[in-house]
Structure 1
Amino acid sequence: MNSMESSPQLPIPFLQSLERALGNDETAEFMQAYQEEAPTSIRLNPFKKGVHLDESAKIPWCDEGYYLANRPSFTLDPLFHAGTYYVQEASSTFLYHVLSHLAVPKDGVFLDLCAAPGGKSTLLSSYLGNEGLLVANEVISARTQILKENIIKWGLGNTIVTQNDAGQFQELAGFFDLVVIDAPCSGEGMFRKDPKAIKEWSPEHVDLCAGRQQRILDQAGILPKAGGYLMYATCTFNQKENEQNVRFLTEEFSYEPVRIPLGSDWGIVESEIACDSGLFYGYRFFPHRLKGEGLFISILRRPDTSVTTTPKLHKEFRHPHLKRVSVRDIPSELSHQVERVNEESLYALGSAYFLFPKRFQAEFEFLAQHLNLRYMGVFLGEASNGQWIPSHEWAMSILPKDLVVKWEVNLDHALQFLRKEPIPMDGAATGWVLITYQEYPLGWVKNLGNRINNYYPKEWRVRMS
C-alpha cells in the first residue's frame, strides 16, 4: 500500500478504510491532496456589503462564498470584526445550495442543533434575513460563548442562542421548518487542517462518535414539522458515522428522501443509501476531488402527515427572568435613538433591554419556556445609575443608526480601538460616539472631553500587534 508508506502520520486503519472505499489509485490522489495546503475561503454577509472580491474566485455552490489566494491575518482586519464576512470552510457552504434548491420558507423557524462556532448558523441567519427566526444551540458552555460572539458580529437580530442538550428539545416536536445537525464526529475530513484530530482518531473513537450521533438523531428526529427538513452532516468519510446513521434515522422516524442536484464539475460524490423505507441520498466531499475539506451531508423530509406544533401568543408572559416591556418603559435615550423600536417586541432582563422581531413573539416566548437562553434578538443596552449605556450588540447589529453620533477612523486607529487603546478624536462630539471603519460600526466610545473611554468588549479585544 504505497499511500500508507507515503504518509505514515495518518492512522493505518483509516487509510485501509479509505482504500476500500476509493481504491489504491484514488487513495494516492487523496494523499497528494492531503500534503497540499488547505484552501482558505470566506462567506460574505449580504446585509453588510463591505468586501468586494473577484467573481472568478466564487465557490461554485455558494453565491456568497469566495476562495482567497492566500490566508491573510483576519485578526488584523477591522472588517472581519465588523461582521462583514465569516471565515468558513468551502465544503460546509454547500448548505447555501441546499437551501436554494429546496426553497425552504424564509419566514420559517430553523434550528442549528450543534451550532458552534457559528459557520452554518450565520449562513442560516443570512438566508432567513428579516423574515425568519433561527435557534442556534450549543451544549458546551465555552463553545456557546464563541457562537454568541459570531452571531452578534453577524448582526441580523433574527437569532436565539441556546445552551441545551438535544434531549431537552423533546417538547418542541414538529416545531421547526428545518433542523441542521452538524454532529460531533471523528473529524476525518479535517485531518489536513487539524493535526489534533489525527491524534484522537481510532476505530474505537469512530464507534464512540457513531453512538453519540445516534443518540442525537434519536432525540432530534421528531423536531422537524410536517413537510419540514432535517439535514444531517459530519466532517468524516466513514460509513458508520454517515450512511449507517441515516439508516438508523429512517428506521426510527418517518422520513422521505431528498435528492439535491449537483454541478457536473463540482466534484461532489453522491451516494445512494438503501433503507427499508426507500432509497436515500448522501453527498460526500473529498479534498482531492474539489477545493475544500472532507464532509458528508444528507437531507431528509418529514411527511406531510407528521406533527406540526404552532404556538399561540398568550396574554401574559410568565418567565423567571424576562418580562415584556413597551416603549413607554424604556429609557428616553433609547427610544429616541433606536429606530424601529415601536415596530418590534421589547423585553427586559433586569436593567438590560432586548429588541426581538414582533412577528415571532409567540414562537420566542414558547421557546423561552423550554430552552436555556444565552442570547436573543438584539441587546440594546442597559440603564445604570440613571444613565443609559448602549450595548456593543446594538453597535454590531444592522438596526439603523442614523440618530447616533459617528466617528470614522483609518486602519491604524481602527486597530488601536480594537485593542482597547486610546485613539485620537480631536473635534469629536462629547457623549456616546459610534466608531466606524469604512462606514461599518466597530463599537462605542464615550467622549468625556478630557478623556475617552473605550467600550469595546475586553474579552474580544485584539491582542495581536
Structure 2
Amino acid sequence: METDSPLPKSFVQSLEDVLEPNEIPSFLASLQEEPVTSVRLNPFKPLAGFEETLPVPWCPEASLLRSRPSFTLDPLFHAGAYYVQEASSTFLSHVLSALSVPKDAVFLDLCAAPGGKSTLLASYLGKQGILVANEVISSRAQVLKENIVKWGIGNTVVTQNDASHFEPLKGLFDLVLVDAPCSGEGMFRKDPNAIAEWSPDHVTHCAVRQRRILDEVGALPKAGGYLVYATCTYNSRENEENIRFLAEEFSFEPVQIPVPAEWGIVESHIKTDAGDFFGYRFFPHMVAGEGFFISVMKRASTATIATPKMQKEFRHPHLKRINGKLLADELAKQVPSVEESSFYALGGAYFLFPKEFQPTFEFIANHLNLRYMGIALGEMNHNSWIPSHEWALSILPKHRVSKVDVSLDQALSFLRKETFPLEQAPSGWVLVTYLGHALGWVKNLGSRINNYYPKEWRIRMD
C-alpha cells in the first residue's frame, strides 16, 4: 500500500496483517494527532478527581484529561493519589473484573517497571492479596519501587530477577501478567524514538526475547490460574504467534473477555490445536488511547498448585523474622494491630507484611532477589527512632502522629527538599500533608526544621 507516511515503509505494509485496507489511512492520520493524557486514581487515597475529564469506559478509576497539567508540580502526584497511565493499558482493570479473580490471591507482574499495571493490580488486591512486582533491570527496578512506595498499599514485594529465576515458583500464582518488552509500535504517537528504533529486525529480536520469557514462565500460574500477555505493539509476530506458542507448549484454555462494540477494541481469533484463543487490540483511531494488545489464558485444572507452608524458622542471608510484640514503643505506635502483621528486620530497618501471607512471602524471599517488601516502618539510629518515608506514604493509619497541612507553595518547597517556615508546628517528628494527603516527614528541632524528603526524589522544576 502506497502512502506519504513518514513511518517506515515496511511498518506500513505490516499493518495490512492487522487492519482492513480502508482503515489504514485513518490509523496513520491518528498518529499525527496529539496523544491523550489519562490518569488512574488510587482508591485507597481518596481524591475528588480532576476537572474537565472524560471517563475511560473499561476502568472506573481512570479518566481522560482534556489537557496535560504539570504533574511534577502537583503534590498529589507525589503523594500517590493518582498514577499517570496510558488509557489503553488500564483495560487490565476490565480483565480482572470479567474474570472475577479472587482478591485473596497471589499475583505476579513479571516485567513491571515503571509500575502502572503493578499499581493497578495492587489496587485490585487491596488488603486481601499480595503482588510480586518484578523488574530485571536495576535502574528500572528502582523506579518501580518508588511508584509502589507512593501507591502505599503495602501488599507488594518488589523483586529484581530474570524470568528464569522463577522456576522454583511454578504453580504459585493465581495470575501472571507478562507485559513483555516489545518493538513499541503502539508508542509511535507518544515517543518519536520508538519510530527511530523500529525495524523488521527489531521486531524479530523482540519476538525471540518474548518467546524465551514465555517459555520460562508458562508454568507459573497455578491450576485454574491465569496468564495475561500484553504488548504495546500491533504486529502478529509479537502477539498472536506468541499465544500460539503458549498454547502448544503449555496446558492452557482459551478465555474470551466481553467487550462492548462501542469501545472500539478489535478482537482477534487465534487458531491453535487447542482451540481458538482470543486477543484484543487497541488502535488510536478507534479508541482514546495508544496502541496495545492483550490476551488471557487459563491454566488447565491438571496443572500444579504450590502451597507454601509456614516454617518454624526463617533462614535468610539478610532478612530476620522478628516478634512484633517485642518491638520498640515507637514502632508499635505505627501499627494498628501487631497481631495482624508479620515483621522483619533488615539491618536496623523494620518492615511490615500482611501476616496471612507470611508463608508465601518467606517462600518467595528464599528464591528471589528482593528490592522492597510490604511497608518499611523506620529504623533505629543511636537509640533514636527515625520513621520512614515509606510509612509516611503508606495507607496505614496515622492517628498518633503530629501532622501539619501545608499550602501549595510550602508543599513544593518540601518536595524540593528546601527549608521553609512552618509556624506553630509541634516539636519532634511532624508529618507534612497537602489537602490531607501525606508527603513525608520534617523534624522540628525548635531552632530549625529538618526536611526528611528523600534526596533522590526531590523535584528540580521551578
TM bracket, shorter-chain basis: over 0.9
- For the pair 1:442 / 2:439, whether they are aligned, the reply is yes
Over residues 65-105 of structure 1, what are the superposed CA-to-partner deviations in whole Å (9 max), with x where a residue is unaligned?
Answer: 10000000000000000000000000000000000010001
Q: Deviations over 1:113-134 (max 9, x none)?
A: 0000000000000000010000
For residues 215 and 264 of structure 1, what CA distance do their matches in structure 2 show? 34
Alpha-carbon distance in structure 1 between the residues aligned to 2:134 and 2:157: 8
1:164 to 150, 161, 164: 161
CA deviation after TM superposition for structure 1 residue 55, in Å: 9.3
Aligned to 2:122: 125
The aligned residue for residue 205 of structure 2 is: 208
Q: Deviations 1:398-446 (Å, cap 9, x if unpaired)?
A: 0000000001101110001000111211211110000000011000001
Aligned to 1:380: 377
For 1:23 and 1:229, locate their aligned partners in 2 and report how far apart those are by CA, in whole Å.
31
Contact 1:82 1:442 in 2 (8 A): yes
**Further displaced range: 51-60 or 414-423:** 51-60
Shift of 1:17: 0.8
Give the distance between the partners of 1:377 and 1:212, measured in 2 at CA: 31
2:324 maps to which residue? 327
**Aligned equivalent of 1:186, options 183, 186, 193:** 183
* SS of residue matched to 1:131: coil
Name the CA distance, whole Å, in 1 between partners of 2:59 and 2:20: 30
Match among 16, 21, 26 for residue 18 of structure 2: 21
Matched, 1:233 2:217: no
Q: 1:20 to 1:302 in 2, by over 3 A?
A: closer
1:113 is aligned to 2:110? yes
User: What CA distance in whole angstroms lies between the structure 2 residues aligned with 1:418 and 1:356?
Assistant: 28
Q: Which residue of 2 aligns with 1:102?
A: 99
Amino acid at match of 2:419: P
Aligned to 1:63: 60
In the alignment, is residue 430 of structure 1 matched against residue 444 of structure 2? no
In 2, Cα distance between equivalents of 1:57 and 1:64 = 11
**Letter aligned with residue 214 of structure 1:** R
Deviation (angstroms), 1:20: 4.3
Shift of 1:56: 6.6
1:264 is aligned to: 261
The one-letter amino acid of 1:175's match is L
Q: Distance in 1 between matches of 2:169 and 2:52?
A: 42
Q: Distance in 1 between matches of 2:202 and 2:421?
A: 54
Q: Could you report, residue by residue, the CA deviation over 1:327-362 in whole angstroms, capped at 9, with x for unpaired residues?
A: 343222111343223420010001100000000000
Pairing 1:145–2:142 present? yes
What is the CA-CA distance between 1:21 and the residue it aligns to?
Answer: 3.2
Contact 1:331–1:383, Cα closer than 8 Å, also in 2: no
Structure-2 change in CA distance of 1:20 and 1:297 (3 Å)? closer
Aligned-residue offset at 1:22: 2.1
TM-score in terms of structure 2 length: 0.98
Letter matched to residue 170 of structure 2: A
Matches of 1:75 and 1:39, distance apart in 2: 18
In structure 1, stretches of 5+ residues that fail to align are: none
Question: Is 1:274 matched up with 2:271?
Answer: yes
Structure 1 runs of 4+ off > 3 angstroms?
Answer: 53-56
C-alpha RMSD of the superposition: 1.1
Q: Distance in 1 between matches of 2:239 and 2:338?
A: 46
C-alpha distance in 2 between matches for 1:88 and 1:48:
17
Equivalenced residues, count: 462
How many angstroms apart in 1 are the aligned matches of 2:136 and 2:248?
Answer: 26
> Partner residue of 1:349?
346
Matched, 1:391 2:385: no
What amino acid is aligned across from residue 199 of structure 2 in structure 1? S
What is the identity, as a one-letter code, of the residue corresponding to 2:148? I
Give the SS at the match of 1:57: strand
Q: Deviations over 1:250-285 (max 9, x none)?
A: 111010000000012000000000001111000000
1:25 Cα offset (Å): 2.4
Letter of the 1:129 counterpart? G
Matched, 1:11 2:8: yes
Q: Is 418-427 or 63-72 further displaced after alignment?
A: 418-427
Contact 1:51/1:84, CA 8 A, preserved across alignment: no
Q: What secondary structure sits across from 1:136 in the alignment?
A: strand
**Most deviating of 246-255 and 420-429:** 420-429
Separation of aligned partners in 2, 1:318 and 1:329: 20
What residue identity is the alignment partner of 2:114?
A: P
SS at the partner of 1:353?
A: strand
What amino acid maps onto 1:357 in structure 2?
P
CA distance in 2, matches of 1:52, 1:215: 41
CA contact (8 A) 1:341 1:355 kept: no
What TM-score does the superposition give when structure 1 sets the normalisation length? 0.98
In structure 1, the residue corresponding to 2:294 is in which secondary structure? Answer: strand
How far the C-alpha of 1:53 sits from its partner, in A, is 4.1
Matched, 1:220 2:221: no
Q: Secondary structure at the match of 1:193?
A: coil
Fraction of identical pairs, as percent: 66
> Which amino acid is 2:281 matched to?
R
Matches for 1:18-97 after TM superposition, within 5 Å? 18-53=15-50, 57-97=54-94
The CA distance in 1 between the partners of 2:100 and 2:206, in whole Å, is: 32
For residues 124-147 of structure 1, the C-alpha deviation after alignment (integer angstroms, 9 at most, x for no partner) is 000000100000000000000000
Is the 8 Å Cα contact of residues 90 and 293 (structure 1) preserved in structure 2?
A: yes
**Residues 322-331 or 196-205, more deviating:** 322-331
Give SS of 1:177's match: strand
1:242 aligns with 2:234: no
Question: Equivalent residue of 1:179, what SS?
Answer: strand
Quick check: 1:324–1:347 contact (8 Å CA) kept in 2?
A: yes
SS of the equivalent of 2:68 reads coil
1:304 CA displacement: 1.1
- 1:257 and 1:55 map into 2 onto residues whose CA distance is 39
